[in-house]
Amino acid sequence: MADPTPGGESLLFLTDENLRKGIEAMFFAYRGFTADPDRILETMDYGRAHHRAVHFIHRSPGTTVGNLLTILGVTKQSLNRVLRTLFDDGLVEARVGKQDKRERHLHLTEKGRALERALSDAQRARMRAAYRAAGPNAVQGFRTVLEAMMDPEQRRQYQGLKEGSA
């Protein structure tokens, strides 16, 4: 019998069945991933879109609307609807750019930081439990596969944060 693994390593992990399991794992895990913040959000008048906006504004304080549009991958109309409620409710404030006065630099207010903390505490708790249960090696693999699954554009945004982007 010819060796089916020219590189010397087993390629059994690439069977369609294994890929299907990976696909379903993503589906079910993503549900768990969003479940806890969702529960908090639904007690307010907010949804996932608000969570995402708050998260990325927290991560990159002073980011512009345009940056946020690129990261979130939605239309400005869609983002604007969300941002307006966050302004109105006093969670986010927009400061006119000093150099370029067309830009609006987004910042969380104290109230906004409180919501961000509540949401990310909930989400991190589950992530931490999963990490702890799986161990550091598994976590390393987890991150490696997810990164390989991103579009190049998304991967750039994911990695670009290491050296600060705002």
Partner DNA sequence: TTGGAATGTCAACAACACTGACATAAATTC
Partner DNA sequence: GAATTTATGTCAGTGTTGTTGACATTCCAA
Site of interaction with DNA (CB under 7 A): 45-50, 52, 64-66, 69, 72-84, 94, 99-104
Q: Which does 161 bind (CB under 5 to 8 A by kind): a second copy, DNA, none?
A: a second copy
- Please answer whether residues 32 and 93 qualify as being in contact, where contact means their C-beta atoms are separated by less than 8 angstroms: no
Neighbouring C-alpha atoms within 13 Å toward the C-beta of 159: 12
Number of residues assigned to the chain: 166
Nearer to DNA, 76 or 117 (CB): 76
**Closest distance of CB 152 from a second copy, Å:** 9
The gap between the terminal CA atoms of the chain, to the nearest Å, is 57
Q: What is the distance between the alpha carbons of residues 158 and 148, in angstroms, rounded to a whole number? A: 11
Nearer to DNA, 13 or 27 (CB): 27
Tell me the three state secondary structure of residue 108: strand
Query: Which residues of this chain interact with a second copy, rule CB under 8 A?
Result: 9-10, 13-14, 16, 18-33, 35, 52, 55, 59, 73, 120, 123-124, 126-151, 154-155, 157-158, 161
